[in-house]
Amino acid sequence: MTEAQQPSALETLLHENRSFSPPPEFTAQANAGDPGIYAQADADYLQWWADWAGLLDWERKWDQVLDWSGAPYAKWFIGGRLNASVQCLDRHVAAGAGARVAYHWEGEPGDTRTLTYADMLAGVCRVANGLKSLGVGKGDRVTLYMPMVPELAMTVLACSRIGAIFSVVFAGFSATSLKDRIQDQDAKLVVCADATWRRGKILDLKAVVDEAVAACPTVDHVLVWRRGEGAHSVSPGLARDIEWSSVVDPQEPQCAPESMDAEDPLFILYTSGTTGKPKGILHTTGGYMTGALATTKLVFDLKEESDVYWCTADIGWITGHSYIVFGPMANGVTQVMYEGAPNHPGLDRFWELVAKYQVSIFYTAPTAIRAFMKWGDEHPARHDLSSLRLLGTVGEPINPEAWVWYLHHIGGGRCPIVDTWWQTETGGIMITPLPGITTTVPGSATLPFPGVSAALVNEAGDPIDGAGGGYLVLDRPWPHMLRGIWGDNARYEETYWSRFPGRYFPGDGAKRDEQGFLWILGRVDDVMNVSGHRLSTMEIESALVDHPAVAEAAVIGVPHELKGQAPVGFVILRGGFEASAELAMELRKHVGTLIGGLARPEQVHFTPELPKTRSGKIMRRLLRDVAEGKHIGDTTTLADPGVLDGLKKEYESREG
């Protein structure tokens, strides 16, 4: 065989569906190298979590580890008192690590900043004092709308320092989405940046905030941090605007941390559910910090003195909360934070950064990996990636091709990959390999984290033991679990605890293979996963119906090469409106304006009818069959089976 005919290492691995054992030298140095850790945690899971909690700095130790008597409302570390920002800052500085770099920050245009742990502590204290001077105190809600700059992490930590409940809204969300979130939590203050850079352009964030806040009477002030770099000219100041430079910069760099109960709220983070209204997921202090500390330390095998860790998520999502702010900072590691797009100015920007900062641990999403694959192997190949020792993925199931590409082209064939399954609600990683222990298989998130218990059940809630597929449930409380939905206990109980009473239902289907590994199959509800982000079909439908031309709409997620899934809309027009390519484009834009670019449908199809049951319920399953060109499933419950023929024709003509 000539060299060209030899199957590549990638093909071999794929065809043999081979597993990847951690290299012995990795295991030898791993934070978790002994498989006995699982049995040890299971033997007494309360003790396991208490041991982790014991590594935090408590002002007062807890009296009881868990109170589950009020299920599904857990209380962890009852009676304990601590402050989350102290875990991330003061204790490292007190231990002599103040000069260690916390963030190597790089702006998209190439400007850089280096912030040590001591710098971060001083910055956080200044922001905390600034917030106090604006009348913000314990229990007040603060909404953050900021790009990936150190001031976002600082503001998050500053809120936690004074006991204010922060809520970060991803800065790609629209004014309407931002307004809804501010209103839902009755925020007193909004902290934003005037602008950020994205693919060489300035995005005017302040304009979005101005539009949102116009309809938010609870907001006393908008605190504006200036991004600089030519962004000064955007949106003029309004009466309630306060400049960061006048309120924060002059403050003292010391601020005594507020004493918080372990169960005091830390943050609210909104995520999509099956209805049009996003859910404000509530996390509290002691349990969340325990989970963040433990999972980061073991899953990413962090060595705070030598590692450079880079999670490419945005702090606007839960991944950024737990694995850019609280987990890595509680562990005292050095991180890379990058403001902009992965393909600006070149397709190798990430790899340039990995080489420049000698990144050793890299955590990203499968959708990004698929984009890297498409952009071409030559981009990572141009850079020295030998500093990497561990890779991670999160957000959606990873296809084995992408996993194997990641292993070879980024990980040099030597870095273990941790495929981590979790959710906004779980607060931290729940199902994952441990990189020094687990022999991984591409596409499987493998096993529950030590101390976590997951099961598969059938429709009736009966456990499925051994190999098989079913609904994933978590059947034991964990410290970093959500404590509810802000202002809506009924929805909390209904969404997560009613389908399989006593067990937490995340909304995902999964299968277990012969060796006991779990494979997450995706959502089983009306939620789709677009580029690793959760979107509700109902929310997009409401946005379409909001347009004057639309009488009715149905939205489904269809498989997409890069995004994993993409939203596709089916729309019935009101009388007097004509279907056209221009109108389809306008409707797509309308969704983008109402929710955010992420939610913009890939396609909009016009149809005179939608497939409905006799009781009027839209059968999205049949729309999915049409979109995927599948044999149309059972249509016996359909009010008018003829509807599907028309839909199929419309779909196929637009596809072609």
Whichever of 56 and 445 has its CB closer to ligand PRX, that residue is 445
Report CA-CA distances (Å) from 635 to 9, 459, 547, 568, 632: 46, 22, 30, 21, 8
Handedness of CA 150, 155, 160, 162 (dihedral sign): positive
Minimum gap (Å) between residue 594 Cβ and ligand PRX: 19
Minimum gap (Å) between residue 432 Cβ and ligand PRX: 8
Whichever of 244 and 403 has its CB closer to ligand PRX, that residue is 403
Amino acid letter, residue 60 = R
Strand segments (E) across 205-278: 221-225, 241-243, 260-261, 265-271
506 binds ligand PRX (CB under 6 A): yes
Minimum gap (Å) between residue 529 Cβ and ligand PRX: 5
Minimum gap (Å) between residue 366 Cβ and ligand PRX: 8
* Gap between the Cα atoms of 625 and 645, Å rounded: 12
Kind of pairing, strands 201-204 and 195-198?
antiparallel
Q: At what angle do helices 175-185 and 205-213 cross, to 10 degrees?
A: 50
Binding-residue total with ligand PRX (CB under 6 A): 23
Q: Which residue has the tokens 């995520």?
A: 271
Whichever of 447 and 584 has its CB closer to ligand PRX, that residue is 447
Whichever of 127 and 555 has its CB closer to ligand PRX, that residue is 555
Whichever of 480 and 612 has its CB closer to ligand PRX, that residue is 480
The stretch among 16-24, 152-160, 419-427, 563-571 that binds ligand PRX (CB under 6 A) is 419-427
The stretch among 117-125, 283-291, 420-428, 638-646 that binds ligand PRX (CB under 6 A) is 420-428
Minimum gap (Å) between residue 272 Cβ and ligand PRX: 8
Minimum gap (Å) between residue 109 Cβ and ligand PRX: 29
Q: Which residue has the tokens 């289907």?
A: 509
395 binds ligand PRX (CB under 6 A): yes
Instruction: Using CB under 6 A, pick the residue from 273, 392, 397, 427 that binds ligand PRX.
Output: 397
311 binds ligand PRX (CB under 6 A): no
Amino acid letter, residue 488 = D
Q: What's the CA dihedral at 461, 466, 471, 476 to 10 degrees?
A: 70
Q: Which two tokens stand for residue 533?
A: 């982000």
The stretch among 4-12, 35-43, 219-227, 500-508 that binds ligand PRX (CB under 6 A) is 500-508
Burial class (CB in 10 A: 0-12, 13-18, 19+), 352: middle
Instruction: Using CB under 6 A, pick the residue from 422, 496, 606, 651 that binds ligand PRX.
Output: 422
Q: Report residue 132 CA to chain centroid gap.
A: 29
* Gap between the Cα atoms of 480 and 486, Å rounded: 16
DSSP state of 312: -
411 binds ligand PRX (CB under 6 A): no
Longest dimension (CA), the chain: 75
Minimum gap (Å) between residue 322 Cβ and ligand PRX: 8
Q: Are 639 and 615 in contact (CB under 8 A)?
A: no
Minimum gap (Å) between residue 224 Cβ and ligand PRX: 28
CB count within 10 Å of CB 347 equals 18
Minimum gap (Å) between residue 566 Cβ and ligand PRX: 15
Instruction: Using CB under 6 A, pick the residue from 270, 421, 492, 504 that binds ligand PRX.
Output: 421
Q: Are 132 and 124 in contact (CB under 8 A)?
A: no
424 binds ligand PRX (CB under 6 A): yes
327 binds ligand PRX (CB under 6 A): no
314 binds ligand PRX (CB under 6 A): no
Per-residue contact string for residues 57-96; x = within reach of ligand PRX by CB under 6 A: ----------------------------------------
Minimum gap (Å) between residue 522 Cβ and ligand PRX: 6
Minimum gap (Å) between residue 459 Cβ and ligand PRX: 19
Minimum gap (Å) between residue 506 Cβ and ligand PRX: 5
480 binds ligand PRX (CB under 6 A): no
3-state SS, one letter per residue, for 566-612 = EEEEEEEECCCCCCCHHHHHHHHHHHHHHCEHHHCCCEEEECCCCCE
Whichever of 108 and 396 has its CB closer to ligand PRX, that residue is 396
Q: What's the CA dihedral at 179, 182, 183, 188 to 10 degrees?
A: -130
Instruction: Using CB under 6 A, pick the residue from 265, 291, 428, 507 that binds ligand PRX.
Output: 507
271 binds ligand PRX (CB under 6 A): yes
Minimum gap (Å) between residue 339 Cβ and ligand PRX: 21
**What's the order of all strands across the beta sheet hosting 112-116?**
112-116, 101-106, 334-338, 308-311, 361-364, 390-394, 417-420
Instruction: Using CB under 6 A, pick the residue from 167, 420, 446, 495 that binds ligand PRX.
Output: 420
The stretch among 115-123, 370-378, 421-429, 561-569 that binds ligand PRX (CB under 6 A) is 421-429
The DSSP element (H or E) to which 75 belongs, if any, is strand 75-78
H-type alpha helices, 138-277: 150-162, 175-185, 205-213, 244-247
Minimum gap (Å) between residue 486 Cβ and ligand PRX: 15
257 binds ligand PRX (CB under 6 A): no
419 binds ligand PRX (CB under 6 A): yes
The stretch among 251-259, 347-355, 394-402, 587-595 that binds ligand PRX (CB under 6 A) is 394-402
Instruction: Using CB under 6 A, pick the residue from 175, 445, 535, 544 that binds ligand PRX.
Output: 445
* Gap between the Cα atoms of 653 and 603, Å rounded: 12
Minimum gap (Å) between residue 536 Cβ and ligand PRX: 11
H-type alpha helices, 383-455: 400-405
Residues in region 508-527 near ligand PRX by CB under 6 A = 508, 520, 522-523
* DSSP state string for 516-565: S-EEEEEESSSEEEETTEEEEHHHHHHHHHTSTTEEEEEEEEEEETTTEE
* Gap between the Cα atoms of 425 and 348, Å rounded: 33
Contacts of 228 (CB under 8 A, 6+ apart): none
The DSSP element (H or E) to which 112 belongs, if any, is strand 112-116
Instruction: Using CB under 6 A, pick the residue from 295, 296, 360, 423 that binds ligand PRX.
Output: 423
Per-residue contact string for residues 525-554; x = within reach of ligand PRX by CB under 6 A: ----x---xx--------------------
Minimum gap (Å) between residue 239 Cβ and ligand PRX: 36
What are 338's strand-pairing partners? 106
The residues that touch ligand PRX, with contacts defined as CB under 6 A, are: 271, 318-319, 394-397, 419-424, 445, 506-508, 520, 522-523, 529, 533-534
